[in-house]
Structure 1
Amino acid sequence: MDREARLALLFKRDRRLPDMDPGRPSRQTQMSADMSSGNEAMADAEAPPASISSVSHNASEAEEPAVKKPWHQRDSSIFESGERADPTAIEKGFCPLFALSRLPYKYLSGQNGRDIARVFFDSGQFWKQTWDLYYILPPRDVYEHPLTLVPAAQVEEFLQKIRKKFKCDLALPADPQHGLVLRFHEEAPQPQYLGRCSSSNDKERLMEECRRNAQNQVPPELSGLSEDSIQEYRKMLSFAVDASRRTSKAEKERKRKAKLQRQREWAHALRRGMCFFGLLPQRPTTTEGGQVQQTFTLRPLELNEPSPFDPAMEPIFICIDVESDERASRDAITEVGVSTLDTLDLVGVAPGERGRNWTEFIRSRHFRVKERRHIVNHRFVNGCPDMFDFGRSEWVSIKNIAKVVNSCFFPPYSADSTAPSNGLQQKGEIKEHKLRRRNIILVGHDVQSDIRYLRNLGCAVFQPGAVGGQSTHDGARKTTKPNQPTFVDTMDTNTLFQVLKREENHRALSVVLMGVGIVGWHLHNAGNDARYTLEAMVRMILASRLAMEGKTRPWESNSINWALKPMWPEPVLGPLAESFRQHEAAWKEEVQRRVNEANVEEIRVREDCGNWEIATGWSEPHHADDIDGGKPRGIVIRPSKKKKAG
């Protein structure tokens, strides 16, 4: 349809206009996709439909004036290309019900899928067909829920209606790997009849009955089958389960790998944190012949002794936290908290129990916006801007707040502000290493959110292009502009905590503090939150290093701190190697506990636990960065999304 025709429809207020856009699905199509699949317990998370089909539409010109390609010129799908299921398979076979209910949304693409969906699916037409429902219980390790089936002959009758309407050539595919036609041999377990369905209400009733039946049944025995028949049976049901999912097997694997990569990067950040504090050495050097030079032994960590290694890159940790008016936009910032910890201040200083000897060197600042001093959040969080517990709040005008926050990332890095609580360095006694440019590690709890706030505030150091997208091993100097801070890495206590506890979910700062044995007072004060976040990072890094040796401390929470596996050769590991067997036995028990307590399939829980084993170095495939976390990652400053005009 050309521009003039679309405008004509628009000014006539034709309600069909949104659905005539060939670049997007109709609202009805999207709603029906959710309705047709939202009630099945076995469904996975939804994914974009696969482009594997072609469909034609012979509606009148008044209904669809756009010119359409002939059927044979459209993209092919598994329903019209390749070998078709033979009549015997259709007569005696079964099809997974929910795979067919998603036909236009999962297997058909673009306008083709929308055409068929509008006529046969969008308004629940699929469930108004007459279906005889069957079910079978797959082996538990294949799938833990009943698999709902319909006779292939009924599916063929349904496809015949589509073929007649659209003059197309859709048919059930014969390839067993598609999982769309199942043949049960006589000696194999057979599907059980569930009932007849001709409406959505019938479907809901029968599915509930199926779930009740499945609770009192076990998968049928396969002992009477040959080994080859058992494998064939299991594969057939596995393919059918994959076909029934919203997400294709390939898409599911892609998401699993992406998730694993994120978890591995989080674990690498925790390893780099140990190197930054001198708790782990960086990876050993090699000779020209490729032999690793072993110049040390990784001995047990003693909290009453200084770090055994020099701090890698001698960085300064700067933690940020932002509070804003919960009733207004992201730009209405009311408080900014900044806490700083210099690793050069810690040289020769033992961390002490709870890391207190180190955290005493943290300098904390709390900036409040003068013009917004009356704003106190109370609807979603209990704000307490007057309760800064680590110094004196500093009042700054709106026009100067960005400049003041920027100054914290340059020499002397807040050393001229608040002295540490141990009094070892008083105001005015600024050491030389604070007067020169230093490597900075940005810290936060969900740090990207705080970066966005400060960028919107106008802080120059967080504007797109202000720093390089990624650092190099020499401290990001190659990617940082001369007049900007040298950000070498980012530490997010949100993801560090997930690695330490091997958890899938993000946790609030209050939960993280409890998880590392910190009592947080007056949270949601930006100054306090920045301070506690930095203290939590120190404790997590110490706890993770101790966990490598199987050690715990009374100040840790009741939940287990799971270790990153030390990836050093045996001569370097020394006594640490003794803790490996204990860890593996404890983790095996933990996995079983999670399986017993989960409300999802066992296979999914074990897959998640397996990902953590790989990410933390306890299972292959290993990564070179599993040794010391690899090169620092710098920080990424992403530009804000531009608002569309109009």
Structure 2
Amino acid sequence: MSRDRAVPVEGASPRIPPPPYIGQEAPSESKFCPLAAVNKWPYKFFHNPDSETIAQAFFAAGKFRTRGWTLYYIHTLLSNASKPLILVPATEVQDLFDDIKRELRLLVYFPKAEKEPGFLLSFKEEGIPRPRYLGRLDLDHSLDEMEARIPPYTDSDNGEHRADDRSFAAFKKKMEAAIEATKQKSKNQRDRKKKERIGTKQAWCEQLKRAQCYLGVRPRSVPNMPNPMEDPSISPRELERAMKRYHSSKGVELPDLEVSEPAPFAFQDHVVFVCVDVEAYEKDHRPITEIGISTLDTHDLLGLPPGEYGKTWTKKIRSRHFRIKETAHLHNSEYVAGCADNFEPEFGVSEWISFKEAPQIIASCFRPPYSHPLGHTNSDAPVETDTPKRQLILVGHDIKMDIDYLQKLGYNVANLSNLIEALDTAELYRAWKHHQNPSKLGSILMEMEMIGWNLHNAGNDAAYTLQALLGIVIASRQSSLATTQSQIARRTEVLEREARDRAKEEAHEWAVADVEGGDGGPPKPLTRIGWPTSDQPYQRRTNATQSSKTINSSDRSSGKMASEMHAQSQTTKKIEAKQLQSPEAEIKSEPWIADDEEAGSFAQSITEKLAFLEEGEEAEGGGGVKLPVVKGETAVKW
């Protein structure tokens, strides 16, 4: 006899699965993302202004919490982790990406696993802990309050694994990657950025040393010179002299530079320095108004002492100032104190040219007699007309911008076959002073006891930039080693003093706190220090929780946000019930993890109240690209 089958009753409502309870284990096929990593995602993987656009639209001012997030927790079992890791389902993160794609026309995706292995997590392995349900994070519940609900860790949370299992070792490695993903920058990113910073600083310092070689104050290294220490036949007395020669050839030990005597070494390649400065209209930047070109021929410096900060050599600088006829009516005064009419008389006289004439006239300044005008009497430098092609060094202050302006005028300096390289005085100054941030030309001149009259005149700026080049080269050669050692000594002294002060302060605090005698006073009930009692195991609330609730209540003053949250709360139970059944059910395919693109971004420190503050750092990893919009639709070309 067969059993009677249940027959559905017409009109009966379908059975609704019970809502999940705190601590209920998620299905093994679920995927999750660390909540803190999702918080930092737009700032970690995007350029500005895209990062700011995403943050303002979906993260700032409580918008991130307004979405409502289903929280899970997992005990990481790591000795350096003070609390469980909070996770959110990958389905909800994918929904966020879809909303960003639809509203902002940005193609966003999960970071590549090779760059951020802890962002997208799965727990399919047998015998390892799995995330457990915690609740819904929204405007009515703070993160502190949600974390206070987490049951204490028990051995049953481990599953059936043992500490020596391979699966358990893989689980701990996964947890370490997840915690690393919650940090503003991962260890790999920090290491890469550190190498990049060191490489940039090294390039600046090498540029300064080459400039010293061009001006004869540093020798070029002698290639393949044998190390005397490797010669067993050399006597101790000869070894000392040989080592001095060897170190001098390598530029390690150099004699003191006497600025009252000619350059001690040969001028490398006997170059001609050509400095360019271009001024554009401040409100457009496309119309070019002035061109300044100054040159310094190292042939004119032979046998001539440089003087302090190279001021004797500065007299050999030749300068020209060109004004464009077509833009003569444009004057800078609002953002830049323009002074196109004030080309310093000691440098020469301004010349009017047209856009059509500009490329040819600029080209003439890169050939003999360079920027020395015919008939100009303010300089005693000889005018050379028939000479072999000379090696050229382009000079500028933030030179890349001036190169771009020359290209707009129709002259590309990169086409010069005798152009060796470009020197940037902004970078040379940073190498000399060990400064990270650039300095203005006027500030650099003041550092070397020079006055730059009527700056932002292209002719004056070109001349003063060459003067700054000479001053930096001479001063850095005089003080490079001594300055470095003194800086190290000063910094070490400051750090030691701060460490001593901190140690004294801490010792004083402990002396005040740990008084002699006493019995510790009466016992402190658990409820007084915020611990759960036996009848209220998971209802702990600290002062921080209470203050968080007070802060959150102010956010609900917005009528629109309150209405959104009311609608959200009506569906919370259904979402919770559905989540435990299949957190991944709504993902129709695996989350798309695209190849990461090199992208700079501002590092962002994100508090639990989602008050985002920008910083100046870049990162690499997942992110997004701008999508073209065609008639209101998103057009993606693969």
Instruction: Tell me the TM-score normalized by structure 1.
Output: 0.51
What is the distance in 2 between the residues matched to 1:549 and 1:525? 36
Corresponding residue to 2:260 among 280, 304, 311: 304
8 Å CA contact retained: 1:315, 1:439: yes
Residue from 343, 363, 388 that aligns with 2:318 = 363
Q: 1:491 aligned to 2:427?
A: no
- CA offsets per residue over residues 246-269 of structure 1, 9 Å max, x none? 655434433433333222111110
CA separation in 2, counterparts of 1:241 and 1:594? 31
1:76-134 Cα deviation digits (max 9, x unpaired): xxxxxxxxxx96999xxx98531245689989xxxxxxxxxxxx999847851255999
- Letter of the 1:520 partner, please give it: G
Where does residue 450 of structure 2 map in the other structure? 518
Write the distance in 2 (CA, Å) between the matches of 1:135 and 1:280.
61
Q: Aligned partner of 1:387: which letter?
A: N
Q: Which residue of 2 aligns with 1:537?
A: 469
Whether 1:412 and 2:351 are equivalent positions in the alignment is: no
Instruction: Say whether the 8 Å CA contact 1:323–1:333 is kept in structure 2.
Output: yes
Question: Residue 528 of structure 1 aligns with which residue?
Answer: 460
Q: Which moved more, 1:124-133 or 1:360-369?
A: 124-133
User: Tell me, which stretches of 5 or more residues in structure 1 are unaligned?
Assistant: 1-85, 108-119, 163-169, 182-194, 211-233, 468-479, 481-485, 552-562, 564-579, 602-607, 609-646
- Separation in 2, partners of 1:354, 1:121: 53
* Matching residue within 355, 358, 365 for 1:398: 355
- SS at 1:360's partner residue? helix
Q: Distance in 1 between matches of 2:38 and 2:267?
A: 59
Q: Is the 8 A contact 1:516 1:539 kept in 2?
A: yes
Amino acid in the other structure paired with 1:409: F
Specify whether residues 235 and 346 from structure 1 end up closer, same or farther in structure 2 by C-alpha distance, changes over 3 A only: farther
Q: In structure 2, how many angstroms separate the alpha carbons of the residues matched to 1:545 and 1:207?
A: 58
What residue is the counterpart of 1:584 in the other structure?
488
- Residue 272 of structure 2 corresponds to residue 334 of structure 1: no
**In structure 1, how many angstroms separate the alpha carbons of the residues matched to 2:352 and 2:140?**
66
2:68 to 119, 124, 128: 128
| Residue 435 of structure 2 is aligned to residue 503 of structure 1 | yes
Q: Output the CA distance in 2 between the equivalents of 1:400 and 1:493.
A: 29
**C-alpha distance in structure 2 between counterparts of 1:197 and 1:516, whole Å:** 63
Cα offsets for 1:273-294 (capped at 9, x unmatched): 1111111101123357997973
Change in CA separation of 1:534 and 1:125 when aligned onto 2, cut-off 3 Å:
same
Cα distance between partner residues in 1 of 2:26 and 2:498: 45
Residues 337-368 of structure 1: per-residue CA shift (max 9 Å, x gap) = 01111112111111112321011111111011
Unaligned residue ranges in structure 2 (runs of 5+): 1-23, 46-57, 97-109, 122-133, 148-171, 231-242, 502-602, 606-615, 617-638
Q: C-alpha offsets along residues 143-177 of structure 1, whole Å, 9 cap, x if unaligned? A: 9xx99952x5x769979999xxxxxxx9xx9xx98
TM superposition shift of 1:270: 0.4
- In the alignment, the residues of structure 1 paired with residue 435 and residue 173 of structure 2 have an alpha-carbon distance, to the nearest angstrom, of 32
Letter aligned with residue 359 of structure 2 = A
What is the letter of the counterpart of residue 345 of structure 1? D
Are 1:198 and 2:137 matched, yes or no?
yes
C-alpha contact (below 8 Å) 1:444/1:493 kept by paired residues: yes
Change (3 A) 1:319 1:100: closer
SS at match of 1:298: coil
The aligned residue for residue 319 of structure 1 is 275
Q: Select 2:298's aligned residue among 316, 322, 343.
A: 343
In 2, Cα distance between equivalents of 1:533 and 1:348: 23
Residue 307 of structure 1 aligns with an amino acid whose one-letter code is: A
> What letter corresponds to residue 98 of structure 1 in structure 2?
A
Higher radius of gyration, 1 or 2:
2
Equivalent position amino acid for 2:460 in 1: N
Which one-letter code corresponds to 1:312 in the other structure?
Q
- Separation (CA, whole Å) in 2 of partners of 1:384 and 1:340: 22
**Equivalent pair of 1:179/1:236 in contact (CA under 8 Å):** no
Preserved contact between residue 339 and residue 534 of structure 1 (Cα < 8 Å): yes
Contact (CA 8 Å) 1:361, 1:420: kept in 2 or not? Answer: no
Secondary structure of the structure 1 residue equivalent to 2:275: strand
**CA 1:126–1:533: 2 relative to 1, 3 Å:** same
Indicate if the aligned counterparts of 1:132 and 1:197 stay in contact, CA closer than 8 A: no
- Match of 1:398, SS? coil
The Cα shift of 1:400 comes to 0.8
Secondary structure of 2:420's counterpart equals strand
Kindly provide the amino acid, as one letter, of the partner of residue 211 in structure 2.
G
Give the RMSD, CA atoms, in angstroms.
5.2
Mark the CA change 1:129 to 1:311 in structure 2 (over 3 Å): closer, same or farther: same
Alignment of 1:437-586 (within 5 A): 437-459=389-411, 461-462=412-413, 466-467=415-416, 480=417, 486-550=418-482, 563=484, 580=485, 582-586=486-490
Q: 1:256 maps to which residue?
A: 194
Taking a change above 3 Å as real, the CA distance of residues 495 and 448 of structure 1, as seen in their structure-2 partners, is: same
Larger RCO: 1 or 2 (CA < 8 Å, sep 6+): 2
Which secondary structure does the structure 1 equivalent of 2:455 belong to? Answer: coil
Query: Equivalent residues in 2 for 1:112-123 (5 A)?
Result: none
Q: What is the alpha-carbon distance in structure 1 between the residues aligned to residue 223 and residue 446 of structure 2? A: 39
Matched-pair contact (CA < 8 Å) for 1:339–1:363: yes
2:182 to 244, 255, 261: 244
Q: Is the 8 A contact 1:178 1:243 kept in 2?
A: yes
C-alpha contact (below 8 Å) 1:317/1:440 kept by paired residues: yes
Q: How many Å separate the matches in 1 of 2:174 and 2:458?
A: 57
Q: How far is the alpha carbon of 1:376 from its aligned partner? A: 0.9
| Cα offset, 1:505, TM superposition | 2.4
Distance 1:241 1:529 in 2: 51
SS in 2 for 1:548: helix
Match of 1:430 in 2: 383
Say if 1:406 and 1:358 are closer, same or farther in 2 by CA, change over 3 A.
same
How many Å apart are 1:589 and its aligned residue?
4.9
Query: Deviations along 1:503-546, whole A, 9 cap, x unmatched?
Result: 33233333333344332221110011111111111111112111
Count of residues in correspondence between the two structures: 394
Check if 1:97 corresponds to 2:35: yes
Counterpart AA for 2:343: F
Deviations 1:606-634 (A, max 9, x none): xx9xxxxxxxxxxxxxxxxxxxxxxxxxx
CA distance in 1, matches of 2:270, 2:135: 72
Is the 2:291–2:458 contact (alpha carbons within 8 Å) kept by the matching residues of 1?
yes
2-structure distance, mates of 1:545, 1:306: 14
Query: Is the 2:40–2:604 Cα contact (8 Å) retained in structure 1?
Result: no
| Paired residues of 1:133 and 1:196 also in contact (CA < 8 A) | no
CA distance in 1, matches of 2:183, 2:404: 36
In structure 2, C-alpha distance between the alignment counterparts of 1:147 and 1:339, rounded to whole Å: 64
Q: Which amino acid aligns with 1:540?
A: I
The alpha-carbon distance between structure 1 residues 351 and 600, as it changes in their structure 2 partners (threshold 3 A), is: farther
Tell me: CA distance 1:437–1:87, structure 2 relative to 1, closer, same or farther (3 Å). Answer: same
The answer on whether the counterparts of 1:278 and 1:307 sit within 8 Å (CA) in structure 2 is yes
Q: Note the alpha carbon deviations across 1:399-425, whole angstroms, 9 max, x for none.
A: 11221111000112123448686x5x2
Residue 380 of structure 1 is matched in structure 2 by: 335
Q: Distance in 1 between matches of 2:120 and 2:471?
A: 53
Question: Matches of 1:594 and 1:455 in 2, distance apart?
Answer: 52
Q: Deviations over 1:212-233 (max 9, x none)?
A: xxxxxxxxxxxxxxxxxxxxxx
Is the CA contact 1:325–1:334 (under 8 Å) kept in the aligned structure 2? yes
The C-alpha deviation readout for 1:563-622, integer Å capped at 9, x for no partner, is: 4xxxxxxxxxxxxxxxx4x453134357899999xx999xxxxxx9xxxxxxxxxxxxxx
